[in-house]
Amino acid sequence: MARALELREGARVVCPKCGRVGTLKVDSFKAGGKEYKYWVVRHGTKRCILKRFEEPRKAQPPALSLPQEREEEARSVGVAVESFPRELQRRAWYIVKLSSSVGALKENPSQENLQKLKNTAGQVTERLGVATATLLEAAERFIAAKTDAAKMRLNEELTLTACRILSSLPVEEKREKGREVAAPVLVALSSLEANVGSLAEKVDALSSLVAGFKRIEEEVGALSEKISTLSSLPATVQTLEEKVSALSVEQLAEEVAKRIPLTAISRQKTKGLRKMILEVLSDGKERKSDEIQEELKKRFKVEVSESSLTGRLSELTREGLLARERKGGASYYRLAGRG
């Protein structure tokens, strides 16, 4: 990927791995007590690793035959080693070896197991050109913290390292490996899709059932409120009966009068009040409104408000039945035509 780039430190380039613009740098990684340098593209605090940095004016070291490595691979994998491409076998073997070291560290977080992991990571970096610095950082953090979060981080870094190991395969071997890996994945995806479809139908049915239960619950709640209201009616009726039985005839009549529409009664009462006023003034004497009010109460046992009395007196005056005269700031009333 990095061959198309001009490898010049500090240059702004388009990253061939993620497609974003970044700065070309040379970063150092430590693994197994050794330091390794790689060309990377920096994106702020993150980076994409491109290739091993080669010191200028130094010949590229010849490819390692690694007889011991080959012997370990053959002993671990057995006869099946020859049935896959050579480079794929090497990378698969190192992934297993690295995973085994991480598993031993998680089971027994000791400095001894950490050192074994560092040795294995150093071999991966030296022989395959894959950076393992972040994996070792996660391992050291797990040793220090021993928390679930640190363990999850270690698992993630192991997965990323395995992906880097496989991504360093030549293109043809990647395609072959991809087909092998994709076949069972596609079958699993088809089965998963069918299961998801069946599950979606069940969820829809369950949602409808839950909605029905909620509706029934609301209706039951409304019905309970109505029943509660009805259940309180006998007590209300009994209370009213007790109150009615405790009232005298006069008090009962008064209560009934309060609740009967007073329009017709008011009209009749108004006509009667006019006649009573004329009856009070029939003796020809002049009287003030409060004197007339007192005479009404005395003669007819009627209590009239001042506003009602004033209204009736004004009506009779306008009609010419009464005469009004102002004396000393007070109004005096008498029958018209007398005096």
Q: What percent of the chain has pLDDT over 90?
A: 26
288: left (phi over 0), alpha (psi -120 to 50) or beta: beta
Are 56 and 26 spatial neighbours (Cβ–Cβ below 8 Å)? no
Residues 294, 324: Cα–Cα separation, whole Å: 18
Residue with the bigger pLDDT between 56 and 108: it is 108
Instruction: Report the C-alpha gap between 41 and 25 in whole angstroms.
Output: 6
The structural domains of the chain, with segments of one domain joined by +, span 2-52, 69-169, 263-335
pTM for the full predicted model: 0.32
How many other CB atoms sit within 10 Å of the CB of residue 335?
17
Could you tell me whether strands 46-52 and 21-31 are parallel, antiparallel, or unpaired per DSSP bridges? unpaired
CA-CA distance, 273 to 315, in Å (whole number)?
A: 12
Q: Decide which of 102 and 63 is more confident.
A: 102
Distances (CA, A) of 218 to 211, 213, 224, 227: 11, 9, 10, 14
Q: Is residue 162 very low, low, confident or very high in pLDDT (cuts 50, 70, 90)?
A: very high
Helix residue ranges, H only, the chain: 67-77, 86-107, 111-128, 133-145, 148-167, 171-231, 233-246, 249-259, 263-280, 289-300, 306-318
Q: If we measure between CA atoms, which residue out of 317, 233, 234 comes closest to residue 274?
A: 317
Chain segment 256-306, per-residue pLDDT in tens: 555 544 444 444 556 688 989 999 888 888 999 899 989 899 989 888 898
Q: Do the first three CATH levels of 2-52 and 263-335 match, i.e. the same topology?
A: no
Instruction: Answer yes or no: are the C-beta atoms of 96 and 116 closer than 8 Å.
Output: no
Average pLDDT over residues 319-332: 89
DSSP at 14: E
Q: Mean per-residue pLDDT for 159-183?
A: 74
Q: Is 67 exposed, middle or buried (0-12, 13-18, 19+ CB in 10 A)?
A: exposed
> What are the tens digits of pLDDT across the range 47-100?
999 888 887 654 444 444 444 555 555 555 444 445 678 888 889 999 999 999
Q: Which CATH architecture has domain 263-335?
A: Orthogonal Bundle (1.10)
Burial 74-88 (b: 16+ CB within 10 A, else e): eeebeeebeeeeeeb
Q: Is the dihedral of CA 118, 123, 128, 129 positive or negative?
A: positive
What's the burial of 315, exposed, middle or buried (CB within 10 Å: 0-12/13-18/19+)? Answer: middle
The answer to whether domain 2-52 has CATH 2.40.10 is yes
Across the strands, what pairs with 41? 24, 48
